[in-house]
Amino acid sequence: MTEHRTQVLIIGSGPAGLTAGIYAARANRAPLIVSGMQLGGQLTTTSGIENYPGFEEEIGGLELMERMQKQAERVGSKLLYDTITEADLKVRPFVCKGDSGDTYIADTLIIATGASPRKMDIPGEDKYRGFGVSYCATCDGFFYRGKEVCVIGGGNTAVEEALYLSGLASKVYLIHRRDAFRAEKVLQEKAFANPKIEMVLDSVPTEFTGTENPLGLTAVKVKNVKTEEERSIPAHGVFIAVGYRPNTSLFAGQIDTDEAGFIITKPNSTATNIDGVFSAGDVKNPLYRQAVIAAGSGCLAALEAEKFLSVNE
């Protein structure tokens, strides 16, 4: 069990955390970045990124994040493979504990813990998780080659996942609770033009059903919200893409959040209600969750942490 002492502790290794690391390291603060369970963050679960500036050709999510990580380390950030399980923000300096048993003592803290997929909370979801129910097409899609699958949701993630799965599965049912998608128009057009994707609109899943032995999903029950008609769609895999929830439970009762749990920061700033604690990326942004925005706010968090340290030195 090691005690780590730092001026800047960054929790999270997605675009927000790694960019904060690049800026804090270049300010000579030798930041520590604690990676969490998902080194590189959410983008590591997607195949091709077309909207991150600087890459005229599509770049893989994993490759982009590996490059960001190498850049952060090259300029002087130290990456630690641990997950923070406790944080005491009432004491100065701040004290965090890791899953490894290590302790982190920090003058400033940048919370960049991002967001995780939301569950549907319907019967069968937990039972078939890992046995047909998935939250990541690029991670698990391979298991459903030549089979029928469903995707649930109407946002960018759902439509991208349906398009990705259409290259593997025999058929993709895209189930959405309304008749209009919130996904970008360019993605919608691709999905509607794809002969392997069948739209199941105005419909909500009510149950995931399957076999016991071996345990495995065989169908998704859906209900049409306009006609109340119910049907069972045959599927070996279902990919749930109904949005994300912020990873803030660790700071419950210490940091101000909105009703959904997103960290509240001061206007045009990454400063939280606690002096010396800053927050960047999806964990504080309920609206436009994009990698470039996360990276930008990671930069701002590092600049604001630097100013805080200079003023308080």
Q: Decide: is 24 part of the binding site for ligand FAD (CB under 6 A).
A: no
- 139 flagged as catalytic: yes
Given 67, 147, 177, 223, the residue binding ligand NAP (CB under 6 A):
177
Among the listed ranges 13-21, 100-108, 122-130, 147-155, the one in contact with ligand FAD (CB under 6 A) is 13-21
Least distance in angstroms from the C-beta of 252 to ligand FAD: 12
Distance CA 128, CA 112 (A): 31
User: Which residues, in sequence order, are CB contacts of 288 under 8 Å at separation 6+?
Assistant: none
Q: Which of residues 196-235 bind ligand NAP (CB under 6 A)?
A: 204
Q: Decide: is 112 part of the binding site for ligand NAP (CB under 6 A).
A: no
Q: Decide: is 155 part of the binding site for ligand FAD (CB under 6 A).
A: no
Q: Decide: is 174 part of the binding site for ligand FAD (CB under 6 A).
A: no
Q: How far is CA 227 from the centre of its chain?
A: 34
Can you read off the two tokens belonging to residue 207?
Answer: 């149950």
178 binds, among ligand FAD, ligand NAP, none (CB under 5 to 8 A by kind): ligand NAP
Distance CA 109, CA 88 (A): 11
User: Which residues, in sequence order, are CB contacts of 134 under 8 Å at separation 6+?
Assistant: 140, 237, 238, 239, 240
Distance CA 33, CA 13 (A): 7
Q: Which of residues 10-69 bind ligand NAP (CB under 6 A)?
A: 51
Q: Decide: is 284 part of the binding site for ligand NAP (CB under 6 A).
A: no
- Among 96, 140, 150, 282, the active-site one is 140
Tokens 């000579």 locate to: 28
- 96 flagged as catalytic: no
- Among 88, 126, 139, 258, the active-site one is 139
Least distance in angstroms from the C-beta of 101 to ligand NAP: 34
- 140 flagged as catalytic: yes
Given 75, 250, 274, 309, the residue binding ligand FAD (CB under 6 A):
250
Least distance in angstroms from the C-beta of 215 to ligand FAD: 26
| Cβ atoms 52, 292 nearer than 8 A | yes
Given 92, 178, 231, 307, the residue binding ligand NAP (CB under 6 A):
178
7 binds, among ligand NAP, ligand FAD, none (CB under 5 to 8 A by kind): none
Q: Decide: is 153 part of the binding site for ligand FAD (CB under 6 A).
A: no
Q: Decide: is 187 part of the binding site for ligand FAD (CB under 6 A).
A: no
Q: Catalytic positions, please?
A: 136, 139-140
Q: For binding to ligand NAP (CB under 6 A), which residues are involved? A: 51, 120, 152-158, 160, 177-178, 182, 204, 241-244, 288-290
